[in-house]
Structure 1
Amino acid sequence: MSKLSLTLTAAVLAIPALAPVAPAQAQSGAKISEIIVYGTDPCPRSTDDEVVVCARKPEAERYRIPEKLRTTGSLQSRQSWANRAIALETYGKNGINSCSPVGPGGFTGCNQQIIAQAFNERGEQNQADTAPEE
């Protein structure tokens, strides 16, 4: 027998060994319930027809938004449309206190804009560093 035919024969014989084995629970047709319990709440008991799997979380998490639904990212990405609209009101403004290269005194608003941005960033940083209240 050639090496190629031996390799092919070994590969064909190994295929059934690679087939995934179904879990015993899935074969029996039992239903799985995944439940989150908080604090010292009891976990419901499993029955013959149902397997109950409990995940225990601290009491402080009971009324919080679930982790997968909590927004992440910078405050700018989570900012309300009302706050974004305020920023859009001044877009295209020119003249005194506008921080634009157009019109007389257009540069005069640039320092004020930088100061306001620094205050906003400092407030966001303080808010991010503060632990949530329980």
Structure 2
Amino acid sequence: MIRLITATALLALAAPAFAQTAPAAGTAADGSAPVQRIRNVQLKAGEPCPKGAADEIVVCGTLEEPYRIPKTLRETKPSAATQSWVNRAATIDEVGRVAGGLPDTCSSVGTGGQTGCNQRLIREYTAEKLEERRKATTVP
């Protein structure tokens, strides 16, 4: 009895989905003719989007900086070759301290490793805020 009620309820919930109609795949939104071509156009600022033919959809996008490498492909993190020797030495020193479980390293290894977790969080927060301030004051 409970199964019959559950099955009836599930069928009643799915009924509105069967009543909806959608255009066939590859047809225009108004259902007039199938779409033969989809064209993607990148425009400079201020240019109008071109009109498509009857069997064509035109997708327009604007270029923010047309003569630069796209932001997704730019290298955001500095590589070892672009860092100073002081930064590289500090990184090597920190890696060695964490691996050895020395105090103030926020490492799970060693007796004094846990004392550096708060200091690390403060250093990361300060560096993040300095970077945000630098980006805010830098003119693109």
- Ranked by relative contact order (alpha carbons within 8 Å, sequence separation 6 or more), the top structure is 1
Q: Which of structures 1 and 2 has the bigger CA Rg?
A: 1
Instruction: Provide the TM-score with structure 1 as the length reference.
Output: 0.45
